[in-house]
Amino acid sequence: MSMPPANQQGLPFLRLKKQVGRTPSSVRTSFYREELFRHWQCLEQQREYYSEKAITDVEGALTRLITDVDQLCARKGGDQLVGRLLRKIDGVTRLSAWSDSKKHH
């Protein structure tokens, strides 16, 4: 999967990824963060199919999750919360369906 285009929509994503890459994190939160970035990339590839408001809302949610994933995972039940949120985001991006179809071919 390629990186989002470096246009006005892609720039916040690229800045955030660079910022996050400099901070130490556990293996678990790194996994979640990478999954969130993959969903963001998938959303960028589907941008033409969604309204600008829908894109803005999902990007806002992804930004908050990427920023707060360490704190969320540190909470009791945080892993389950992040997992549920990833499944909800997957309902929009359909990344898992796209990934699963590649495994079957």
| pLDDT for 11 beyond 90 | no
pLDDT average, residue stretch 74-89: 91
DSSP the chain: -PPPPSSTTHHHHHHHHHHHHTS---HHHHHHHHHHHHHHHHHHHTGGGS-HHHHHHHHHHHHHHHHHHHHHHHSTTHHHHHHHHHHHHHHHH-HHHHHHHHHT-
pLDDT at res. 8: 45
pLDDT tier, 79 (very low <50, low <70, confident <90, very high otherwise): confident
pLDDT at res. 15: 55
pLDDT tier, 18 (very low <50, low <70, confident <90, very high otherwise): low
pTM (2 d.p.): 0.68
